[in-house]
Amino acid sequence: MDFRGRDVVVTGGTGALGRAVVGALIEAGANCHVSYMIEAEAQAFPFRELVALHAVGNLADEATVAKLYDAVPKLWASIHLAGGFAMGPIADTGKAALMQQVDGNLVSCFLCCRAAVIAIRRAGGGGRIVNVAARPALEWRSGAGMAAYTATKAAVAALTTALAEEVAKDGILVNAVAPSIMDTPANRKSIPNADYASWPKVEEVAATIVFLASPDNAVTRGGVVPVYGKA
């Protein structure tokens, strides 16, 4: 896959999945613009000298998102990894917790999609958008005990499919991946007795994301691709 000369935004790119995605993009020649919220992650980011890092406080804020995308010279692809996860039965999930998931998962994705469409149209030549849903977005029963998270990720899946139909005429192909739990240090710590071998590796999930964002993807749009591994 050849990304030489192509500008790519990766939100939440300093996390575990983000490192794998950005590493693959750099190897393919992309000019990466990486947003982050946690300063410690940015300081430890192994590609900090090879990308444009953008400290972004709130991707659910229109002005903040517009500023991020206005800094990109000629956008080809936008990959939206930023989001939030929360467990909790519905009886313990008040409006504030629900809205935190809505803002962190749905609103941030919507605004970044909007800004990406505007920027790609401005650049001309079409482009790609890749969102991140989750397994419960496709398999609702698996979202028991995390209804707010499940609902917002299901909304991301619906947004992806609807937007893909809307902007296909512009040569913008929109897709999403739906990971199961991934093999990351944080997930291993939270579930210490799991079968880690069954979890998809971040590099494997990243490979699907990068393909969907690449010029090699010439026809796939509106997909919410399961990336479950053996889980």
pLDDT for 138 beyond 90: yes
Classify residue 136: in a domain, yes or no.
yes
Closest Cα partner for 75 from 26, 11, 121?
121
Structure tokens at 139: 């398999």
Classify residue 204: in a domain, yes or no.
yes
The pair phi, psi for residue 111, each rounded to 5°, is: -65, -35
pLDDT for 77 beyond 90: yes
pLDDT grade for 214, boundaries at 50, 70 and 90: very high
- pLDDT, position 231: 83
183 within 8 A of 199, measured Cβ to Cβ = yes
Its domain, for residue 41, covers 7-227
Classify residue 2: in a domain, yes or no.
no
Classify residue 1: in a domain, yes or no.
no
Structure tokens at 7: 């500008």
Expressed in percent and rounded to 5, the helix, strand and coil fractions of the chain are: 50, 20, 35
Q: What is the pLDDT of residues 149-202, one digit of tens each?
A: 999 999 999 999 999 999 999 999 999 999 999 999 999 998 998 999 999 999
Residue with tokens 């919507």: 110
- pLDDT, position 151: 98
pLDDT grade for 57, boundaries at 50, 70 and 90: confident
Q: What is the pLDDT of residues 32-54, one digit of tens each?
A: 999 999 999 999 999 999 999 99
What's the pTM? 0.96
Classify residue 206: in a domain, yes or no.
yes
pLDDT for 142 beyond 90: yes
Classify residue 108: in a domain, yes or no.
yes
Average pLDDT, the chain: 97
CATH number of the domain bearing residue 112: 3.40.50.720
Give percent above pLDDT 90 in the chain: 95
What's the rounded mean pLDDT across residues 85-99? 97
Classify residue 118: in a domain, yes or no.
yes
The Cα–Cα gap between 167 and 185 comes to 37
Structure tokens at 64: 């903040």
How many domains, in total, are found in the chain?
Answer: 1
Classify residue 67: in a domain, yes or no.
yes
CB atoms within 10 A of CB 140: 12
